[in-house]
Amino acid sequence: MKDIVRGWRHIQQRYNLIGSKCSQCGKVFFPKRVICPECRRRGKIEDIKLSGKGKIYTYSVINTPTDEFKTLAPYVVAIIELEEGTKITSQIVDCDPDKIEIGDEVEVVFRKIRTEGDDGVISYGYKFKLKK
């Protein structure tokens, strides 16, 4: 029951990219922050819904994953620079790993992350795909 409650409590972050923006210096962070690492206590942090659009900053093709992700191999994990300027690490889905390039435009999608427990509870979260 505890896991179900925790899941519902985090549903807003799970189905939206919610970050933080400092009203003092204007920097955007993901995941959310309580204190701005630049301004420290002088900054005032506000929630911001991120666009989910960005470009591949760097990436790696995973050919030898852990047991949990063997059925996905090969797959791409990238650092995405979002339009708002913050960077986020994510899997790139629905693509040919040999055709990924730094600078490719991507957009967020929400997909299955894993199935947990004996009851088969499915966890969803964000991933990215190449923008068409």
Instruction: Give the number of domains in the chain.
Output: 2
Please enumerate, as own/partner, the contacts of 70-78 that have beta carbons within 8 Å and a separation of 24 or more.
76/100, 78/106, 78/128
Distance (Å, whole) CA 47 – CA 70: 36
**C-alpha of 124 from chain center:** 11
User: Tell me, what's the pLDDT at 43?
Assistant: 73
Same domain (yes/no): 45, 85:
no
Structural domain of residue 111, as residue ranges?
51-132
For the cut 70, the answer to whether the pLDDT of residue 92 exceeds it is yes
Are residues 60 and 98 both part of a single domain? yes
Q: Smallest Cα–Cα separation from 109: which of 16, 34, 4? A: 16
The verdict on 80 and 126 lying in the same domain is yes
CATH number of the CATH domain containing 121: 2.40.50.840
Tens-place pLDDT, residues 34-88: 899 888 877 789 999 999 999 999 999 999 988 888 888 999 999 999 999 999 9
45 lies in the same domain as 62: no
**Domain identity same for 103 and 120:** yes
Q: Which of 7-16, 34-43, 88-97, 119-128 has the highest mean pLDDT?
A: 88-97
